[in-house]
Amino acid sequence: MTRGIVLIATHDPGGALAIAPVLKAIRQKTPVALICSEFARTRLDTQGLESTVLPQNLSAEQAAQFLNKHQPSALLTGTSWNSNSEQMLRNQAARAGIRSVVVIDYWRNYSARWAGAEYPLQKLPDIVCVADDFMRKEMLEEGFPANKVFSTGQPHLEKLSAIPADLPFGPPKEFLFLSEPCLHLEAGHAHPFELVTRAVRKTCPPSSRLHFKAHPKEELPEDLLELVQNLSDNHLEVKILPQTTIFPAGLRQFDFVIGYQTMGLFEAAALGKRVIAMPLPNPNSSLLGALADFGISTSQLCDDFLAETIAKLAITTPPMIGQKYSGATAAIVNQIL
């Protein structure tokens, strides 16, 4: 059993959400030191716990300084897009023989999460906690060792699915579109949000509203801002949702959520919302399996097909997700301690 401080490091909001219930549980058992980005801190319950800012990138020397300062008996990290800081800490933990546990929050890009590792995946020193067997199977196919990857469940979704879901009342009038940083306007092509707006307008009742929510790491270009601002009419008001809106609580105000295959869709489904996933290029089977398991409908990137899917879901009751990933938090705590 681990004795001493557990050092927790997380940079991206998604990883922080997955780690948040684990942080809360571990604090009841052993001392904790927290280093996190400003992004991540907004997703964590840090009451009474001081934290150090985790930069987007670390050198090997900086990572070693963090470990030398805290002298942890275990390291718990998430994984991040366009940041090396968590991996640099894992490299130093491997050198020092410190137990390292990694929580994977989403069903994509598994090997890429270890970019910059000083060790091959086949000789992985980290214990990896994954959401389900869909995810574990694909990771093993990518070369991760079976004795290092454990299907523990996803703590954030475990927490959300334990909350009573909203019951839909009447036809949906408040719509939300969740964007992704990889989306952009291409010459001669309609932006995906423009297609979504057309589809919603075809099916929604009068005085409905469609909100555009940028990804936390997405910078909206001027042409996209102009597009969104010019899509409103007397039937459908189109607005940009402030980046200060915090999910999942901010999802409560919406009846219908449409977006690319992001964590926000799973959060919305857990809260009882009608949800449609639009495809990203080359979706992997683990993600498609997880979407189906959550009762999330999928649609082609076509306004007519999307409108048909919206119309069908608008007159049906969303599936009751029930308790998902029960015991996930406890399982990860057991791997750490």
pLDDT tens track for 114-157: 999 999 999 999 999 999 999 999 999 999 999 999 999 999 99
Q: Is the pLDDT of residue 304 over 50?
A: yes
pLDDT tens track for 156-206: 999 988 877 776 667 789 999 998 765 554 545 667 888 899 999 999 999
DSSP 231-299: ---SSEEEEEPPTTPPTTGGGGG-SEEEEES-HHHHHHHHTT-EEEEEPPSS--HHHHHHHHHTT-EE-
CB-CB contact of 175 with 204 (8 Å): yes
SS3 303: helix
Domain with CATH 3.40.50.2000 in the chain: 6-161+325-336, 174-314
Q: Is the pLDDT of residue 255 over 60?
A: yes
**Model's pTM, two decimal places?**
0.86
Bridge partners of 211? 176, 239
Q: Residue 141: what residue type?
A: E
Question: What tokens does 135 get?
Answer: 């995810």
Give CA–CA dist 147/337, Å, rounded.
Answer: 17
DSSP 27-57: HTTS-EEEEE-HHHHTTS--TT--EEE--S-
Give CA–CA dist 293/190, Å, rounded.
Answer: 31
Q: What's the CATH fold of domain 174-314?
A: Rossmann fold (3.40.50)
138 contact partners, CB below 8 Å, separation of at least 6: 107, 110, 284, 285, 286
Q: Which residue has the higher pLDDT, 255 or 167?
A: 255
Give CA–CA dist 301/259, Å, rounded.
Answer: 11
CB-CB contact of 8 with 19 (8 Å): yes
Nearest alpha-carbon partner for 93 in 52, 63, 54, 51: 63
Tell me the C-alpha to C-alpha distance, in Å, between residue 300 and each of 69, 100, 213, 238, 266.
51, 40, 20, 22, 19
Q: What's the CATH fold of domain 6-161+325-336?
A: Rossmann fold (3.40.50)
Q: Look at the block and give the residue holding tokens 């963090």.
A: 66
